[in-house]
Structure 1
Amino acid sequence: MLSLETIITFFSASLLLALVPGPDNIFVLTQSIFQGKKSGLMIVFGLCTGLIFHTMAVSLGVAVIFQTSVIAFTILKIIGAGYLLYLAWQIFHASSEKIDTKNNKFIDYKKLYYRGIIMNITNPKVSIFFLAFLPQFTNANLGFVPFQMILLGMLFIIATVLVFGSIALLSGTLANVFNKSENSQMILNKLASFVFVALAVKLAMTKQ
């Protein structure tokens, strides 16, 4: 079992890491402004579900494959970059109609949830990060190490939900500003599309 000191230290570090600007929180920020805070929260839940995948991958040793195999790493990041470009294309050609963020029957929240999952699990850097980060807080003398890493992964997910959820709630209020006119919605579409292209390029250029 993890000590209280380890839990506090790890959780504090996780909160700080979640606050550092990166593809995931930028993704949440963009989506929340684009379609409202509820959409942003669904993305957050999707991303955190993806973190469960990475936690299990590290605990079971699967993440080592992405660290040692150039082919596996390259294939996964190409899939991830391709998916981001697909999202950019969809948003760029989206309708410029206003979005009612309080009562919108046209937003597929389940699709947004799955979008968060796909974006997270197709980023091999997350698994490698977990592979480097989680073991630092484990202790073989305290019991089964894979179980300790699962507990740490759950703590990291809680920290991520708190930080990313706050981003979604705060930035979601900005959606109302952009929904006041058709031109502002069109500009937002283009900006969101640019962000996704930038994230795709960044992921595609990521080295192992």
Structure 2
Amino acid sequence: MTDTLLPFLPAFFIAHSFLLVGALSPGPAVAMLMGISVGQGRAAGLIACAGIATGSATINLLTILGVGLILSQAAWAMMILRIAGSAYLAYLAYGAFRKALNPPTIAAMNVRRQGTGALFVKGYLLQITNPKAIAFWLAIAGVGATANAPLWVVALFVGSMWVLSFACHGAWAVALSASPVRAAYHYARRYIEAALGAFFAFAAFTLATSRS
């Protein structure tokens, strides 16, 4: 089984790196998690994180199925997908550098108190209706991490990406529930965006020049 997984590991590493930085990037999910964690506590924020991660897994699985169908009809489709994904990552790099020069503030989203199920659904719906999240997953699909992979490798990929998404958003939920961390984050926002811009620029180049 290990020998079967080995050929997929380089693409796995690249795809997980993309998600790691993307999930740690400030956005609508961060604003929502900040509002939930501040208003209802860390446990509530983590429940919403589970919804976000499940939403990511849904997009991930649908993207894998859709890309697989396209590639079964036209091998050149992977090249087009890779170029489109690279262009989107370059756009993210541009946006991050622009925010580094003039960093906007992220205010906690005003979220009313809700139960466990409602918090999970809120996180799930936020993710699956976010056009940027869908575009980002299409960029990850351009890596081709599960191309021609057996079912258990696809399941491992989807499951590990769920865990990574939950862990990254969970880190936001836990950290931003503390006011000193929120203050430090706002102070360091310029440097965070600059680092994100550098990573996205590197990711765009890596994806565009990939031969896999």
**By the TM > 0.5 criterion, same fold?**
yes
Specify which of 89, 95, 102 is matched with residue 90 of structure 1: 95
What is the distance in 1 between the residues matched to 2:209 and 2:154? 27
Matches within 5 A, 1:18-37: 21-31=16-26, 35=30
Question: What SS does the corresponding residue of 1:191 show, helix, strand or coil?
Answer: helix
Percent of aligned pairs sharing the same letter: 16
What is the distance in 2 between the residues matched to 1:85 and 1:194? 10
What is the distance in 2 between the residues matched to 1:57 and 1:179? 42
Question: What SS does the corresponding residue of 1:26 show, helix, strand or coil?
Answer: helix
Are the counterparts in 1 of residues 88 and 136 from structure 2 also a CA contact under 8 Å? yes
Could you report, residue by residue, the CA deviation over 1:108-133 in whole angstroms, capped at 9, with x for unpaired residues? x569832121122234445x432332
Specify which of 71, 79, 104 is matched with residue 63 of structure 1: 71
Consecutive unaligned residues of structure 1, counting only runs of 5 or more, are 1-5, 138-151
Matches within 5 A, 1:37-48: 38=33, 41=49, 44=53, 47-48=56-57
Consecutive unaligned residues of structure 2, counting only runs of 5 or more, are 35-47, 112-125
Could you report, residue by residue, the CA deviation over 1:146-203 in whole angstroms, capped at 9, with x for unpaired residues? xxxxxx8567534422332112212554566364376522222212222211211111
What is the distance in 2 between the residues matched to 1:91 and 1:165? 23
Q: Aligned residue for 1:75?
A: 80
The amino acid across from 1:116 in the alignment is A
Are the counterparts in 1 of residues 58 and 128 from structure 2 also a CA contact under 8 Å? no
Are the counterparts in 2 of residues 45 and 116 from structure 1 also a CA contact under 8 Å? no
The amino acid across from 2:60 in the alignment is L
Could you report, residue by residue, the CA deviation over 1:32-70 in whole angstroms, capped at 9, with x for unpaired residues? 7x9468399587456433322343237x6433356x32x
What is the distance in 2 between the residues matched to 1:90 and 1:202? 18
What is the distance in 1 between the residues matched to 2:88 and 2:55? 15
What is the distance in 1 between the residues matched to 2:104 and 2:142? 36
- Is 1:113 matched with 2:121? no
Q: Aligned residue for 2:189?
A: 185
Q: CA RMSD of the aligned region, Å? A: 4.2
What is the distance in 2 between the residues matched to 1:166 and 1:203? 25
Specify which of 99, 102, 125 is matched with residue 106 of structure 2: 99
Are the counterparts in 2 of residues 98 and 179 from structure 1 also a CA contact under 8 Å? no
Q: Aligned residue for 2:37?
A: none
Task: State how many pairs are aligned.
Answer: 171
- Is 1:53 matched with 2:69? no
Deviation at 1:73, TM superposition (A): 2.4
What is the distance in 2 between the residues matched to 1:173 and 1:36? 13
Deviation at 1:78, TM superposition (A): 1.4
Are the counterparts in 2 of residues 78 and 204 from structure 1 also a CA contact under 8 Å? yes
Are the counterparts in 2 of residues 24 and 47 from structure 1 also a CA contact under 8 Å? no
Question: What SS does the corresponding residue of 2:25 show, helix, strand or coil?
Answer: helix
What is the distance in 1 between the residues matched to 2:164 and 2:127? 21
